[in-house]
Structure 1
Amino acid sequence: MKVLQTAFPFLAWLPQMRSSLRVDLVAGITVALILVPQSMAYAQLAGLPVVYGLYASFVPVIVGALWGSCPQLHTGPVAMLSLLSAAAVIPLAAPGSVTYIEISILLALMVGILRLGLGLARLGLLVNFVSSPVMVGFTNAAALIIGLSLLNQIIGVPMPRSDFYLADLWGVISQLPQTHLPTLAFAAGTWALIWWLGRVAPRLPVLLIAVVLATAVSAFIGFERRVEVPSTAIMDRQAAALIEGYRQTAAKIDALNAAAAAKGAELTALLKAGDELRDPMHAMRVENEIELLRAQAKLLRGDNDQRRVRLHAIPLERVDAGGVMRFHRAGSLPEGAPKLGRNWHFDGVKQGGIVLSAGGVVVGDIPQGLPTFDAPKIHWDVLLPLLPSALVMALIGLMEAVSISKAIAAKTRQRVDINKEIIGQGLANTVGSFFGAYAVSGSFSRSAVAARAGARTGFYAIISAMAVVLVLLFFTPLLHHLPQAVLAVIVMMAVFGLIRVKPLIHAWRVDRSGAVIGIATFVATLFMAPSIANGILLGVLLTAVAFLFKTMKPRAEILGRREDGVLAGLDTHGLEPLSERVVPIRFDGSLVFANVAYFDDIVLEARARFPKADTLLIVGSGINHIDATGEEKIREVAQILRESGVTLAFSGLKKQVRVAFQAGGLEELLGKENLYDSKDQALRVLLARADREASVADGGLPAVGQPVSSAGCRRLV
């Protein structure tokens, strides 16, 4: 039975199903009311059509629940991975295009395989390589980036996209005078409604209520207002020239993408060819050609983004004459032409026509029906560029899932197997990619709601997924008029709640270097956006360097005795030395290859400062480990000191270090009499011996009742 439960963790639910069915049903419905609007909002953040958020809330939710370790953890679309997915895929394809969707799904497969590998290899401990300040700094920066990246949808203006996020954000802010007031009104109204209902009726499905009301109001007032006209309908020369440039550039981008796709198919064929047909140099040339085509397409997309911003700044007014629509620049209508009361803006090109909009942006048509089983399309040419992002997404997703599971387990007193949870998350992404899902992970908000609702087994998550199925089958037409500004507000309110400053302030008090690294991670993530994965990689690297530096230079100092009798640093506390002949040295760190040079330095410093010393005592209670290099260094130092008449002694060594001393012959080399169980015992013996030898050297023993010496045993009283 244990073997079956290891392979199929959901079998553990069966004994509880009868008693937990009702609460799981309620919890599942409650979570579903949050899942549906959240999933659509996060898909939009990932640069995907909203239906792919619903796809990611179906199969991955079920698989994650069946094979996960924490029953209350809810798997599905989350803000962080959605942003990381967009940042990884945007350089490779145009958002919303078929290629973009295929690469996003491929990325989910890669993330799933990496997580599966980590879980099967029982490498869940890798999450410990990211320190708390680094994670806090990265999360704060990512939350700001996620929230502010949706600002253009709140005010209804286009957002230019480049390799520098802060410049793109400034491009949006500079368009504030062009704010579309109805869009801003929807956003402000949604925020106010969610905030108010969250305070007065927190048990209600606040997000769903906001979505339903906003959709109904949008449909009633005709919030979306778009027309498709020929190019001859644009009467303003500047606007017409910009639109023509946009159209031609868009055609070039499509041609470059088609060429890159054809080259990708050629590369796939080359990679699949047998050894006798494979030409590595030709494959490399094809790969370089693909990179060049993508780079050209990326530059052209940037140009068109700028054209779109310039076009949006040209408001057009519509004139109907003889049943024909004409659009003039606002304020330049012919005399006597009737004003129709609203400004129009360029919205795109479509099949030779020009799309103009006088309203807000809505979700639009959502495909009806369930996702079909289809293997992700492998774009071999993007696997290597995607790998770093996939690895970062795998690790960040793991940290999210593990931290949520541990927080829930602390309250429910359940045991969570981290590696099983990793396997469950890996399976959710891997299997989900075969059903059109992009990368998913554990959700803080939905898991917390499930825990508060009393969910006992993962069956509640399956209930929530079934609710998504109903939406896909029957309700997607009703979501056509949902304003995208509403989804943007939902994401903003979710991610801004992740911003935490207190942990960094606390870290500054406890570990200043760790806090500095956390702040550096925050700044780097902001400046490296949209490639925010580089921010956390930099934080991990700085943490490793700081750890290595601390390992190379552990706390080590010569000791003296304070007035209260406690040993403390001689220089740190301005103390007098215990003796000129016995010098105690504290070394708080494992003695390994990285710090043997520092050990050598501190011993040489003590020897130089106390030339009359005949014993150097290493207080080694802080030495937890010694490697071959450390053992060799002790041997070398002991022999050099012995040649100059100085004895090297140790006190307080831990069992594992004593065993290493015995195995390497150090115990014999140093002499058992020079290895003491504690520093107090060592000082008592060594100082007494030093006093006796000093008395003999002075010509006799001290009189009975007289103090031994100013440097002797009376200091131990």
Structure 2
Amino acid sequence: MYDAIAGVSVAMVGIPQSLAYAELAGLPPIAGLYAGALPPLLAAIFASSPYLQTGPVAITALLTYSALSTIATPGSPEYVGLGLALALVVGVVRVGLGLLRAGWLAYLMSQPMLLGFVPAAAVLIASSQLPKVLGVSPPGYGNEIVEAGWGLAHPAQWSLAALAMGAMTVLVVLGARRLHPLVPGVLLAAVVGIAVSALGFYPAPVVDDIPSGFLPFTLDEIPWDRLPELLLPGAIIALIGFTEAASISRRFASEERTRWNANREFISQGVANVAASAVGGMPCGGSFSRSSVNRMSGARTRWSGAFTGLTVLAFLPFATVLRPLPLAVLGAIVIVAVVSLMRFRPLLRLWRLSTPQAVIAWTTFLATVLLAPRLDIAVLIGVGLSVAVFLWRSLQLEIDVETEGTTLRFVPRGVLWFGTAQRLDTVLLDALAAHPDADALVIDLGRLGRIDTTGALMLRSVLDQARGAGLRADVNGIPPQSRKLTERVLGPEIGPLD
């Protein structure tokens, strides 16, 4: 009973949201409803989290638009077919990762990269919806922010009806939140918008094209020959889109001190996307807002998601009632939903914490904004920078040289591996030249993170050189994770190790 109530409550919020996110993705609104019907029903079978709600979400919708808008005209039959193909690719990638127990890949995207990408994507999403709220049709500049700026710069073309409807939506949704998180503000705004439009008091654009009936079978509409060109964007969506589902599930599991399985969640999200491709849907993922509603509505098990899907399925024969829904309402729903993602304070704070990580975050942010709609390139830039910073840091071996009478003490910090091992040899030669009276060398490895084979061999070489120069040479503080390797390389004849 609790799961049924929670599932129906989520569906009441999810139905108008699904329409809005399909519009954001450049797909027919009905694709959002289809993606909110069978996918959450099947995802519930495999899900690990009892609260995660699957369906269309903002970030995945934007990534879908960025992947497809450069190769097809949004809304065209070709575009719709590619949307189905993309959902299939996303689904297969996620199922494959789950079956291979590669849930750790959910953490592949570095936090600084996501700190830059998510708010930039939120800005793009809000910008793409602003013309709908203003009731304007900007020229196709190819960048959402530029088009939003054009709309703001032409107030003479604003539609007062669209502005009023958008303002009403924002007030109703935010007001409902203040009353109680379970008050369905999105649904109430949609009902008001439909009523005003159906009575003939709304002259601006509406959804209009919403067919009624049951789910279609659309696997035969997938352009199978074009799947290869969707592999990269599909993989990016599979990983980035999963971070939202993972963060939701981890947070709820932590608060309730329960277990969560990333591999199972990968499979559940993958099955949902494969189902979406088969029934005319769109790429989907885990929704933070709907999952929160699900939890607060009293959901007890993962089957609440199944009840959400069943509710949407039951609504499909009556979906034509949504035809008068103003597009301004959908635009405002999306804007309100993504405002919470525009978190710039962590971006600013990152400069004080780590300059290299701040460079990753801000470069990703700027690349996402400037390269739109090619968000795949922006993501690859962010990932590439993250890898480059990791390699750069791995190449930094700092060695503190201390003297205690005639004893030299080396304290290396970092990782002693083939990329940094030569640094130890250089420091030894410099220290011997600077301290000709030294008669002993102690190398303290306690601050090293790891030693590889090349590092251990270089360590032995340095000890041999020091002893050849007449110094007593000892090592202590070998990292536990590298002890066996280091002891094998140094050998018992080298001297005491601790």
1:75 aligns to 2:54 (yes or no):
yes
> Are the aligned partners of 1:552 and 1:598 in contact in 2 as well (CA < 8 Å)?
no
One-letter code of the match for 1:593?
A: F
Looking at structure 2, the residues matched to 204 and 607 of structure 1 have their Cα atoms a distance apart, in angstroms, of: 75
Looking at structure 2, the residues matched to 96 and 602 of structure 1 have their Cα atoms a distance apart, in angstroms, of: 64
Structure with the larger helix share: 2
> Are the aligned partners of 1:590 and 1:624 in contact in 2 as well (CA < 8 Å)?
yes
> Are the aligned partners of 1:432 and 1:438 in contact in 2 as well (CA < 8 Å)?
yes
Looking at structure 1, the residues matched to 448 and 218 of structure 2 have their Cα atoms a distance apart, in angstroms, of: 57
1:163/1:610 Cα in 2 relative to 1: closer, same or farther (>3 Å)? farther
| Alignment counterpart, residue 98 of structure 1, candidates 64, 68, 77 | 77
Offset from partner CA, 1:288-328 (integer Å, 9 cap, x none): xxxxxxxxxxxxxxxxxxxxxxxxxxxxxxxxxxxxxxxxx
Looking at structure 1, the residues matched to 390 and 243 of structure 2 have their Cα atoms a distance apart, in angstroms, of: 20
Looking at structure 2, the residues matched to 129 and 602 of structure 1 have their Cα atoms a distance apart, in angstroms, of: 35
> Which residue of structure 1 aligns with residue 421 of structure 2?
596
Gaps of 5+ in 2: none
1:548/1:215 Cα in 2 relative to 1: closer, same or farther (>3 Å)? same
C-alpha displacement of 1:469: 1.4
| Alignment counterpart, residue 247 of structure 2, candidates 386, 403, 416 | 403
Q: Secondary structure at the match of 1:589?
A: strand
Looking at structure 2, the residues matched to 505 and 168 of structure 1 have their Cα atoms a distance apart, in angstroms, of: 27
> Which residue of structure 2 aligns with residue 297 of structure 1?
none
Q: Secondary structure at the match of 2:199?
A: helix
Offset from partner CA, 1:627-664 (integer Å, 9 cap, x none): 22112222332333333223432111133433113322
> Which residue of structure 2 aligns with residue 331 of structure 1?
none
Q: Secondary structure at the match of 2:415?
A: coil
C-alpha displacement of 1:378: 4.3
> Which residue of structure 1 aligns with residue 446 of structure 2?
621
1:471/1:388 Cα in 2 relative to 1: closer, same or farther (>3 Å)? same
One-letter code of the match for 1:550?
A: R
Q: Secondary structure at the match of 1:149?
A: helix
> Which residue of structure 2 aligns with residue 645 of structure 1?
470
| Alignment counterpart, residue 558 of structure 1, candidates 398, 401, 415 | 401
| Alignment counterpart, residue 667 of structure 1, candidates 483, 491, 495 | 491
Looking at structure 1, the residues matched to 396 and 377 of structure 2 have their Cα atoms a distance apart, in angstroms, of: 28
One-letter code of the match for 1:500?
A: R
| Alignment counterpart, residue 504 of structure 1, candidates 347, 366, 374 | 347
| Total equivalences in the alignment | 498
Looking at structure 2, the residues matched to 157 and 445 of structure 1 have their Cα atoms a distance apart, in angstroms, of: 29
Offset from partner CA, 1:155-207 (integer Å, 9 cap, x none): 11113334544444443333333111211111112212222232235432211
Larger Rg: 1
1:159/1:670 Cα in 2 relative to 1: closer, same or farther (>3 Å)? farther
Q: Secondary structure at the match of 2:463?
A: helix
Give the TM-score, by structure 2 length.
0.95
Looking at structure 1, the residues matched to 178 and 391 of structure 2 have their Cα atoms a distance apart, in angstroms, of: 48
1:111 aligns to 2:97 (yes or no):
no
> Are the aligned partners of 2:441 and 2:466 in contact in 1 as well (CA < 8 Å)?
no
> Are the aligned partners of 1:106 and 1:376 in contact in 2 as well (CA < 8 Å)?
no
Percent of aligned pairs sharing the same letter: 37
Q: Secondary structure at the match of 1:92?
A: coil
Looking at structure 1, the residues matched to 293 and 33 of structure 2 have their Cα atoms a distance apart, in angstroms, of: 19
Looking at structure 1, the residues matched to 15 and 481 of structure 2 have their Cα atoms a distance apart, in angstroms, of: 56
Looking at structure 1, the residues matched to 79 and 97 of structure 2 have their Cα atoms a distance apart, in angstroms, of: 27
C-alpha displacement of 1:105: 0.7
1:636 aligns to 2:461 (yes or no):
yes
One-letter code of the match for 1:614?
A: D
One-letter code of the match for 1:667?
A: G
C-alpha displacement of 1:427: 1.2
Looking at structure 2, the residues matched to 446 and 381 of structure 1 have their Cα atoms a distance apart, in angstroms, of: 35
Looking at structure 1, the residues matched to 208 and 464 of structure 2 have their Cα atoms a distance apart, in angstroms, of: 82
> Are the aligned partners of 2:182 and 2:296 in contact in 1 as well (CA < 8 Å)?
no
> Which residue of structure 1 aligns with residue 325 of structure 2?
482
One-letter code of the match for 2:450?
A: H
Looking at structure 2, the residues matched to 499 and 76 of structure 1 have their Cα atoms a distance apart, in angstroms, of: 22
Looking at structure 2, the residues matched to 523 and 648 of structure 1 have their Cα atoms a distance apart, in angstroms, of: 52
> Which residue of structure 2 aligns with residue 259 of structure 1?
none
Q: CA RMSD in A?
A: 1.9
> Which residue of structure 2 aligns with residue 545 of structure 1?
388
Looking at structure 1, the residues matched to 146 and 296 of structure 2 have their Cα atoms a distance apart, in angstroms, of: 42
After alignment, is 95-104 or 530-539 more displaced? 530-539
> Are the aligned partners of 2:134 and 2:151 in contact in 1 as well (CA < 8 Å)?
no
C-alpha displacement of 1:222: 4.3
| Alignment counterpart, residue 172 of structure 2, candidates 190, 193, 200 | 193
C-alpha displacement of 1:148: 0.7
1:157 aligns to 2:139 (yes or no):
no
One-letter code of the match for 1:556?
A: I
Looking at structure 2, the residues matched to 618 and 159 of structure 1 have their Cα atoms a distance apart, in angstroms, of: 67
1:142 aligns to 2:142 (yes or no):
no
1:644/1:428 Cα in 2 relative to 1: closer, same or farther (>3 Å)? same
After alignment, is 626-635 or 100-109 more displaced? 626-635
Looking at structure 1, the residues matched to 22 and 269 of structure 2 have their Cα atoms a distance apart, in angstroms, of: 19
Gaps of 5+ in 1: 1-21, 224-358, 560-576, 677-717
Looking at structure 2, the residues matched to 650 and 377 of structure 1 have their Cα atoms a distance apart, in angstroms, of: 68
> Are the aligned partners of 1:623 and 1:657 in contact in 2 as well (CA < 8 Å)?
no
Looking at structure 2, the residues matched to 378 and 115 of structure 1 have their Cα atoms a distance apart, in angstroms, of: 19
> Which residue of structure 2 aligns with residue 532 of structure 1?
375
After alignment, is 452-461 or 174-183 more displaced? 174-183
Looking at structure 2, the residues matched to 617 and 113 of structure 1 have their Cα atoms a distance apart, in angstroms, of: 55
Q: Secondary structure at the match of 2:442?
A: strand
> Are the aligned partners of 1:371 and 1:435 in contact in 2 as well (CA < 8 Å)?
yes
Looking at structure 2, the residues matched to 622 and 127 of structure 1 have their Cα atoms a distance apart, in angstroms, of: 30
> Are the aligned partners of 2:58 and 2:338 in contact in 1 as well (CA < 8 Å)?
yes
Offset from partner CA, 1:650-680 (integer Å, 9 cap, x none): 111133433113322x133522x3x22xxxx
Offset from partner CA, 1:384-439 (integer Å, 9 cap, x none): 33222111101012211111100111122221011111111111111221111211
One-letter code of the match for 1:597?
A: Q
C-alpha displacement of 1:217: 0.6
1:168/1:385 Cα in 2 relative to 1: closer, same or farther (>3 Å)? farther
1:374/1:212 Cα in 2 relative to 1: closer, same or farther (>3 Å)? same
Q: Secondary structure at the match of 1:649?
A: strand
Looking at structure 2, the residues matched to 159 and 121 of structure 1 have their Cα atoms a distance apart, in angstroms, of: 46
C-alpha displacement of 1:38: 0.5
> Are the aligned partners of 2:162 and 2:328 in contact in 1 as well (CA < 8 Å)?
yes
Looking at structure 1, the residues matched to 460 and 221 of structure 2 have their Cα atoms a distance apart, in angstroms, of: 61
C-alpha displacement of 1:40: 0.5
> Which residue of structure 2 aligns with residue 493 of structure 1?
336
Runs of 4+ off more than 6 Å: none
Q: Secondary structure at the match of 1:590?
A: strand
> Which residue of structure 1 aligns with residue 404 of structure 2?
578
Looking at structure 2, the residues matched to 653 and 588 of structure 1 have their Cα atoms a distance apart, in angstroms, of: 12
C-alpha displacement of 1:527: 0.9
| Alignment counterpart, residue 205 of structure 1, candidates 184, 187, 193 | 184
One-letter code of the match for 1:445?
A: S
> Which residue of structure 2 aligns with residue 36 of structure 1?
15
